[in-house]
Amino acid sequence: MKINRYLQYITPKRYRRLSHVASLRSRYFTFVFENFFDIHNISAGLRSIEAFGFQDVHIVEGVNQLSVNKDITRGAHQWLTLHRYQTVEECFRALRKEGYRILVAEPDPSQPPLHKMEFNQPAAFIFGQELYGISETAKREADGIFRIPIAGFVESFNVSVTVALTAYTARIYAESSLKECQWKLSPAQYQELLMTWVLQQPIVRKIIRKEGEDE
């Protein structure tokens, strides 16, 4: 479907905004939620990932079905590409097929801190369930572990905070240590994402529905 015919219904300001945000999107780093059950953590995590310009979130929901709180995400989830899986193994196969190195988030002080790690290939960051953490399967099948350093008495961050800090650190790394051609979307990916966003604009969706009714 060509988007040019629908651009007349979007203000130039809105289209510039869509184009600008799409130009800053990245798939070099991606994020995995393993069986999150707290809707607030899911929603806050999605909002942080979107805010720092990462496009994909992979959801393992074999135990807990994904749901979001729109008041918390502030609509952030509609700009993301969500991939759903029933098992960790299924998720990891898909990530490895795309060339991702898989790293699990753990508070273990013996593990390397994220901000000191090098990323010569795309990486997927895995975050575990709020109560029990990362599953043994994910730990066993992952390529490595990282931690977010803690300087206080607490032993760990809330998982949504860990997601936000990871996304921020990953964004800083991408912009400071990688070439733009590495971390930004390819021209084809950019055009595809922009088309998706244009087509999901309320006015455009309304027109498409009307066209379907008139056929």
First to last CA, the chain: 16
Q: Quick one: 105 and 63 in the same domain? A: yes
> What pTM, to 2 d.p., does this model score?
0.90
pLDDT for 65 equals 62
C-alpha dihedral sign at 193, 194, 198, 199: negative
Q: Quick one: 2 and 91 in the same domain? A: no
- 186, two tokens: 């390819």
Q: Quick one: 44 and 56 in the same domain? A: yes
Which alpha helices (DSSP H) does the chain contain, by range? 12-23, 39-51, 70-73, 88-97, 136-141, 159-177, 180-183, 187-199, 202-214
Q: Quick one: 98 and 35 in the same domain? A: yes
Positions in the chain short of pLDDT 50: 69, 71-73
Q: Quick one: 116 and 40 in the same domain? A: yes
Q: Quick one: 21 and 111 in the same domain? A: no
| CB contact at 8 A, 185 and 19 | no
Tens of pLDDT along 8-48? 888 899 999 999 999 999 999 999 999 888 888 888 999 99
pLDDT for 73 equals 47
Q: Quick one: 51 and 16 in the same domain? A: no
CATH number at residue 75: 3.40.1280.10
Q: Quick one: 15 and 30 in the same domain? A: no
Q: Quick one: 4 and 38 in the same domain? A: no
pLDDT for 66 equals 62
Q: How far apart are CA 104 and CA 102, in angstroms?
A: 7
Q: Quick one: 169 and 207 in the same domain? A: no
Domain count, the chain: 2
Q: Quick one: 198 and 102 in the same domain? A: no
Q: Calculate the dihedral angle through the C-alpha atoms of 178, 180, 181, 185, rounding to the nearest 10 degrees.
A: 110
Angle at 171 between CA 54 and CA 101, to 5 degrees: 70
pLDDT for 102 equals 98
Tens of pLDDT along 92-113? 999 999 999 999 999 889 999 9
pLDDT for 211 equals 73
pLDDT for 213 equals 52
- 20, two tokens: 């600008």
Q: Quick one: 177 and 195 in the same domain? A: no
pLDDT for 121 equals 96
- Can you give the residue range of the structural domain that contains 10? 1-25+189-215
